[in-house]
């Protein structure tokens, strides 16, 4: 026998003797062990419970879950549904996949591909992912929300920015993570963000001496990407005498383009 096995044997013998002693003493607990005994041989679990046991510390004790002990009962691990049942969440299988340590029930780590179990509590995000199909729809929730609950990933873990210096806060002005292709943005979005892809337009506009040159792109191209405004949206249907508009129906025939009216 190795020392380790010998120790284990000695310990189990200890449990046997301890139990025999308490049963002999007429203890009400069938198995004889009290919660205060556990710490004599197990130090990790009592420590975990003491520091982070939450309701598993305050509402119940070791022996509500571990009703028996070796050697008389080698299988004293409880099923969670012994005490938790009646909701969709409690019908899940593999509770310990997320609640990996029952002694710290709310320290939740996520190290597998998971989507379905998340939906027992979060439905809005899935609704968006499905309504607005994108590459993000095809990965598991835990591809992004990984390691622990609740973890928020940084876009830049997986993507490079359109332009150096853009951080995640900037990404979120135009993209929503659960519908990334629905690009929308507020009216005060800085033109520099657009310039990352529309450098030519940006330079033209900035060089223009006309009043449009001072506007942010988003003032005209409002809200949703690729929206094109009509000049008349801002200047009214007939800024000039009707005869003039009849002869030259396009504003551009005299004013050129919005980004540089002179051209
Ligand atoms: C005298 C020492 C001793 C005491 C007191 C003791 N245990 Fe154990 N316990 C052991 C040993 C030894 C093992 C076997 C460890 C192994 O196989 O690695 C064990 C195993 C376990 C296991 C693992 C399940 C299994 O069957 O392998 C649980 C759960 C457990 N004990 C809970 C408790 C609880 C709860 C208490 C207090 C009510 C307690 N123990 C008190 C020595 C003790
Ligand atoms: C809410 C129920 C619950 C409570 C309360 C609880 N345990 Fe456990 N315990 C479990 C479950 C479930 C496992 C099996 C964990 C696994 O398989 O990963 C376990 C495992 C163990 C083990 C085996 C080694 C391990 O960590 O997997 C020991 C020893 C143990 N518990 C001791 C204790 C002691 C001592 C207490 C009280 C301080 C206690 N437990 C309180 C549910 C509980
Ligand atoms: C012996 C009964 C019992 C068992 C077995 C049990 N629990 Fe609990 N658990 C409770 C009670 C009582 C509460 C507090 C009331 C509630 O939230 O239902 C609780 C609360 C919790 C909480 C919330 C903690 C808090 O304080 O907010 C989580 C998470 C949890 N349990 C997970 C589990 C998991 C996972 C298992 C299986 C490994 C498990 N429980 C096994 C009795 C138990
Ligand atoms: C996909 C991971 C995952 C799985 C699988 C899972 N849980 Fe949870 N559970 C969570 C998360 C996340 C929370 C919320 C924690 C919070 O409020 O911070 C939670 C909360 C809880 C709570 C406390 C809140 C409540 O609704 O009462 C209990 C109890 C619980 N789970 C028990 C279980 C049981 C029992 C199982 C297995 C039948 C299980 N969980 C399976 C992730 C999971
Ligand atoms: C039992 C219910 C439950 C389950 C299951 C659950 N969550 Fe949660 N989740 C919550 C609660 C409650 C909160 C808010 C409290 C908090 O921050 O801990 C939350 C918060 C979050 C947040 C952060 C919200 C914020 O604004 O910071 C994310 C992200 C999240 N959950 C993702 C997930 C993912 C991914 C899964 C599946 C692996 C999951 N959740 C499973 C209940 C749950
Ligand atoms: C491509 C990565 C990615 C995927 C896949 C993903 N999320 Fe998220 N999620 C995020 C990011 C990033 C945020 C933070 C958004 C913010 O801060 O405004 C977030 C925020 C959340 C929040 C906080 C509330 C909210 O809506 O902002 C919850 C809850 C959440 N996600 C759940 C889920 C669930 C459930 C799934 C799977 C159905 C999922 N997520 C899939 C990246 C992702
Ligand atoms: C865990 C990795 C991960 C995170 C975090 C992540 N993405 Fe993605 N995203 C992907 C993958 C994988 C694809 C598909 C391949 C590609 O286009 O790079 C994708 C595609 C996209 C697309 C194109 C969608 C399509 O269907 O073509 C956009 C837009 C996008 N992501 C924006 C974001 C933004 C914004 C964030 C932060 C809120 C973010 N992503 C966070 C992994 C991630
Ligand atoms: C000013 C708005 C805006 C900002 C800010 C922005 N994006 Fe985009 N992004 C877009 C537009 C518009 C597209 C789609 C272009 C198209 O239709 O092809 C796009 C496309 C993408 C794509 C798809 C692949 C590609 O490169 O075309 C990814 C991935 C992406 N963005 C990630 C990000 C990340 C990460 C950030 C933050 C660093 C970010 N975006 C910031 C507007 C923005
Ligand atoms: C990630 C790169 C990217 C960013 C950032 C971006 N765009 Fe675009 N944009 C594109 C692409 C690609 C097209 C399509 C070009 C084409 O069809 O020739 C486009 C097209 C457009 C169009 C023309 C649509 C049409 O019908 O011709 C407008 C207007 C536009 N973008 C405005 C903006 C504004 C305003 C911003 C800033 C809020 C912005 N874009 C940010 C990539 C981007
Ligand atoms: C005063 C309003 C206004 C401003 C400011 C403005 N645009 Fe435009 N934009 C228009 C109009 C109107 C059109 C349609 C073509 C035309 O009539 O000039 C257009 C067309 C476009 C097009 C498609 C045609 C082309 O020239 O490629 C893109 C892309 C575009 N704008 C991007 C931008 C970007 C990026 C900015 C900021 C740097 C910006 N716009 C600022 C009004 C504006
Ligand atoms: C989002 C609203 C908006 C759109 C769309 C728009 N404009 Fe303007 N435009 C303005 C504003 C505001 C001014 C400045 C008015 C002032 O200060 O008196 C202006 C000024 C002008 C001026 C005077 C230039 C100057 O520097 O004095 C002309 C000419 C003009 N716009 C033509 C056009 C034409 C042509 C289009 C379409 C191609 C157009 N605008 C689209 C809002 C807009
Ligand atoms: C036949 C050529 C022509 C056409 C077509 C035309 N304009 Fe003009 N517009 C002018 C001239 C010339 C001026 C300068 C007149 C002045 O300084 O009073 C002008 C001035 C303007 C001004 C500036 C007015 C001010 O008070 O500073 C606006 C705004 C304007 N036009 C908008 C439009 C819009 C919108 C359209 C299309 C619906 C349009 N124009 C069509 C020739 C034209």
Query: Which two structure tokens, joined as six digits, stand for 41?
Result: 């041989």
Is residue 66 very low, low, confident or very high in pLDDT (cuts 50, 70, 90)?
very high
* 262 located within any domain: yes
* 11 located within any domain: yes
The model's pLDDT over 148-204, given as tens digits with 9 standing for 90+, comes to 999 999 999 999 999 999 999 999 999 999 999 999 999 999 999 999 999 999 999
pLDDT of res. 73:
81
* 132 located within any domain: no
Place of tokens 């979005």: 189
Q: Which of 38, 56, 78 is a domain's end point?
A: 78
Q: Evaluate: CB of 118 within 6 angstroms of ligand 6.
A: yes
Does this model's pTM top 0.75? Answer: yes
pLDDT of res. 27:
35
Q: Which of 63, 78, 93 is a domain's end point?
A: 78
pLDDT of res. 72:
82
Rounded to 10 degrees, what is the CA torsion of 28, 33, 37, 43?
Answer: -140
Q: What residue owns the CA closest to ligand 8's atom 26?
A: 162
Domain carrying residue 210: 184-263
pLDDT of res. 220:
97
* 162 located within any domain: no
Radius of gyration of the chain (CA): 33
Q: Which of 78, 94, 114 is a domain's end point?
A: 78
* 222 located within any domain: yes
Return the best residue to mutate from 136, 169, 182 for the ligand 7 pocket (most ligand atoms within 8 A of CB): 136
Atom of ligand 3 nearest to the CA of 106: 29
The model's pLDDT over 214-224, given as tens digits with 9 standing for 90+, comes to 999 999 999 99
Which H or E element spans position 208? none
* 19 located within any domain: yes
pLDDT of res. 29:
44
CA of 190 from ligand 7 middle (Å) equals: 22
Return the best residue to mutate from 48, 55, 67 for the ligand 3 pocket (most ligand atoms within 8 A of CB): 55
| Per-position DSSP letters for 117-180, written without gaps between them | GGGGT--HHHHHHHHS--GGGGS-HHHHS-EESS----GGGT---SSTT--HHHHHHH-BTTBT
| Least confident range of 19-33, 114-128, 176-190, 199-213 | 19-33
Domain count, the chain: 2
pLDDT of res. 22:
45
Ligand (nearest to CA of 179)? 7
* 18 located within any domain: yes
Return the best residue to mutate from 162, 171, 198 for the ligand 9 pocket (most ligand atoms within 8 A of CB): 198
pLDDT of res. 1:
41
- What average pLDDT does range 240-248 have in this prediction? 93
Instruction: Give the residue from 186, 196, 262, 256 showing the smallest Cα distance to 223.
Output: 186
* 59 located within any domain: yes
52 neighbors 41 (Cβ within 8 angstroms): no
């Amino acid at each position: 026998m190795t020392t380790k096995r010998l120790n284990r044997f000695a310990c189990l013998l200890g449990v046997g003797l301890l139990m025999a002693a308490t049963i002999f003493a007429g203890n009400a607990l069938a198995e004889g062990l009290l919660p205060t005994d556990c710490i004599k041989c197990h130090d990790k679990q009592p420590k975990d419970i003491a520091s982070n046991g939450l309701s598993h510390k305050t509402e119940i004790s070791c022996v509500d879950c571990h009703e028996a002990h070796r050697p008389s009962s080698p299988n004293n691990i409880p099923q969670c549904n012994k005490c938790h049942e009646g909701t969709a969440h409690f019908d899940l299988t593999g509770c310990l996949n997320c609640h990996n340590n029952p002694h710290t029930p709310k320290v939740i780590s996520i190290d597998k591909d998971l989507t379905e179990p998340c939906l027992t509590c979060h439905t809005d995000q899935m609704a968006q992912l499905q309504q607005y199909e994108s590459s993000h729809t095809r990965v598991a929730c835990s591809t992004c929300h990984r390691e622990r609950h609740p973890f928020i990933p940084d876009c830049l873990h997986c993507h490079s920015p359109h332009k150096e210096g853009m951080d995640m806060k900037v990404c979120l002005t135009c993209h929503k993570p659960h519908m990334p292709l629905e690009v929308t943005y507020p009216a005060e979005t800085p033109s520099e963000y657009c310039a990352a892809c529309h450098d030519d337009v940006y330079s033209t506009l900035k060089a223009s001496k006309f009043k449009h040159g001072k506007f942010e792109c988003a003032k005209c191209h409002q809200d949703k990407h690729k929206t094109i405004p009509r000049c008349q949206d801002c200047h009214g249907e007939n800024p000039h005498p009707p005869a003039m508009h009849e002869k030259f129906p396009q504003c551009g025939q005299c004013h050129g383009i919005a980004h540089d009216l002179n051209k």
